Chain A
């Protein structure tokens, strides 16, 4: 019953979305305020109906309603409650419903918080947002309906893929989708502005919070996924340059570029058409990401044929939205003349360089991800593009970005002197260089990776501190620093986060220690200054799995610091084994232990890694997200309702 209501609500939401797509758009064109006003209640209705449909699906999962095909395929009555709930989006149909739910949520939020928007812009934004929703409602209802029943319900389900039964992964898709779909808001604003033929500082001030929010969610989503890969997949990798990962990384890079270029539009009324273009492309990449993940195109060219209907549907959506928006852009871009005048050495220029580096690095990832298909179809060569390529082709852009970041973020608007900025950063540079040299001298390997990473991380971090300090005036005072706008703090925190992550990745890759051996029971062995002893191996039963659990004593300098329990789990229903690494998390390093197979003589294969600074990767990501959130809570966004009323010249250029 609830299921049918959910299905019905979904169809109703589809109808409302069609109305919201057409009526306010016509109203805005003809200046009929009654028609424009339809947008707001429609956005609310659409959201609540979709939320109800999604709730019905979750309900079916929670109550283990095995008359629903989706529940049978992805759930089991013995599964823990958290994973029953997360099972609702741990599959294609459910995740698309979550996607469209977030599209309507953002539409409704634009209606709730859009009080200060000019009525015609608001109507157009909501109409464009609704057009996106219409496309995805149609996609769900016609190709991937989650509410299909089975004629003969089985007694129990087939269980969710055990790798997905994990807290990190339960929340990974919602955050990622909030990020992907958040970019749809920037897209809607861009298209609406193109139709209006007007882009100004107020517009940028409107777009930036949405982009910032999307970027924060993407950061959290990607970090969660990477953290999950680290502890779950059993060898402690955190990034694989897999097409599916790249699909989320490309929008992240473009969102980062977009939120920086929107600053230039907001403060200086320049880079307008580029910002519009970037907003369109960033959402385009979200769609490309969905397409890549949903069609299976990149697994292999042939897997695409397995489900051509869905893949082609998303491709058509992509073509219509991005193609349409780009055509509109080509027709209207001339109307966006730049107003701001600035010298070639200025904050504006630095942000242009930031955008060039981010956009081109995204292009490299895009090209590398698609090249195997192009090479196969165009040149008849079957080849692979993997991590080694991306490591060498992508990293230089990030190094360049890290080097210019502190300089660029301190350059004044309009016109600056590079010499003066460099001089004020001399301590940051000296300190970072000294640290890097010290580590270079201390380490035994010849690899430059660690010291370079440390230099960049320290340079960015100290640079952010000096930037913050310099804002408190000539003498600097701690009290004034605390009272700086949150946007300034957000900038410093987010940049520090980037520095921390850069350092951590370099440090982990440079200084990791690995040990592979057959461990005999009770016989201690040394790895990187730690003593490990496999003391026992037991069979343990979990709620929906059996586990082979090792008991490993971890000692340092003769003192026991932890007992680690690496596991091998076997999920009988899903017929799948998983490895559960045991990790001793510490600030400076993780000890990462995996247990393998039993040998004939009763010993066990074991892998042990010492992973320095592993936690710092995610600590840096959290700092980045926190910085974004701080900026988002800045007063000028909270009072943005009045933003449009401020004429452009009144926006201080700091």
Chain B
């Protein structure tokens, strides 16, 4: 709910995301620019890509991306250019460098651990001696059952 409080900051400027005058004439280049924009963070907003953001800074970044693409950069080169200037904070999808391996591997490793534990549990259940589940009721339970039947 409090996301709004931040979104208002963006709305405070009457501009909004991708303006008609930004759009490139070449639809292929424009499409690539849009895809890259979705992976770049608007630096003054919270958790929004420059593709969605209304902030002036996001507009500057969008224009910069387009400039690089028009200049003939590949997607990777354009991204590298922007990361060089603004730091890895602008990447909404973190790289796989250094400690970020923890982030990317956390899910798969946890899945393996959980699958291992789960498999161990299932094996144990399958091998458990049958008949155990029909174990006799405790004295208290028998007493209560008798009461209920009497009622």
Binding site for B on A (CB under 8 A): 95, 161, 163-164, 169, 172-173, 176, 225, 233-235, 237, 240-245, 268-270, 293, 296, 299, 338-344, 348-349, 352-353, 356, 359-361, 363-364, 367-368, 371, 375, 378-379, 381-389, 392-394, 397, 516-518, 568, 576-579, 594, 596-597, 605, 607, 645, 647-649
Contacts and interface: CB of A to CB of B under 8 A. Distances in A.
B6 to A, nearest CB: 7
A345 B48 CA distance: 44
B99 A382 contact: no
13 contacts: A163-B11, A299-B46, A343-B126, A344-B126, A348-B125, A360-B110, A367-B107, A381-B98, A384-B47, A385-B94, A516-B20, A579-B11, A645-B148
Nearest to A200: B141
Interface in B45-96: 46-49, 52, 87-94
A343 B111 CA distance: 22
B7 interface: yes
A344 B16 CA distance: 55
A533 B11 CA distance: 26
B17 interface: yes
Nearest to B38: A388
A243 B135 CA distance: 48
A384 B91 contact: yes
A66 to B, nearest CB: 22
Given A235-B52, A242-B46, A389-B92, A356 B114 contact: yes
Across the A-B interface, give the 7 residue pairs with the lowest CB-CB distance, nearest first.
A386-B92, A388-B93, A364-B107, A339-B133, A163-B4, A367-B106, A379-B99
A517 B20 contact: yes
Contacts, number: 175
A647 B141 contact: yes
B16 A244 contact: no
A386 B49 contact: yes
Given A243-B47, A341-B126, A382 B111 contact: no
Given A225-B1, A341-B126, A349-B122, 5 more contacts: A341-B129, A344-B123, A344-B126, A352-B122, A384-B89
A371 B133 contact: no
B23 interface: yes
A48 B94 CA distance: 50
Nearest to B141: A647
A601 B22 CA distance: 18
Nearest to B99: A379
A576 B94 contact: no
B8 interface: yes
Contacts of A356: 111, 114-115, 118
Contacts of B144: 645
A258 to B, nearest CB: 16
B123 A386 contact: no
A348 B93 CA distance: 37
A386 B110 contact: no
A647 B143 CA distance: 12
Contacts of B148: 645
B3 A382 contact: no
Nearest to B142: A647
B5 A360 contact: no
Contact of B92 (A296, A371, A385, A597): A385
Given A352-B121, A367-B103, A381-B99, A596 B16 contact: yes
A342 B3 CA distance: 46
B130 interface: yes
B14 interface: yes
B12 interface: yes
Given A244-B1, A389-B94, A597 B125 contact: no
Contacts of B20: 516-518, 605
A338 B125 contact: yes
A384 B19 CA distance: 25
A597 B93 contact: no
B132 to A, nearest CB: 6
Nearest to A338: B125
A172 B107 CA distance: 30
A273 B4 CA distance: 40
A338 to B, nearest CB: 7
A161 B8 CA distance: 9
A647 B146 CA distance: 11
B111 A645 contact: no
Given A161-B4, A576-B11, A387 B107 contact: no
Contacts of A243: 47
Nearest to A361: B107
Nearest to B97: A381
A359 B114 contact: yes
A384 B115 contact: no
B133 A577 contact: no
Contacts of B137: 647
Given A360-B114, A384-B91, A647 B107 contact: no
A594 B52 CA distance: 13
Q: Which of A243, A568, A596 has most B Cβ within 10 Å?
A: A596
B1 A579 contact: no
A393 B107 contact: yes
B8 A163 contact: yes
A164 B100 CA distance: 37
Given A342-B126, A356-B111, A605-B19, A383 B4 contact: no
Contacts of B7: 163, 233
Nearest to B89: A382
Contacts of A367: 103, 106-107
Given A367-B103, A647-B145, A392 B93 contact: yes
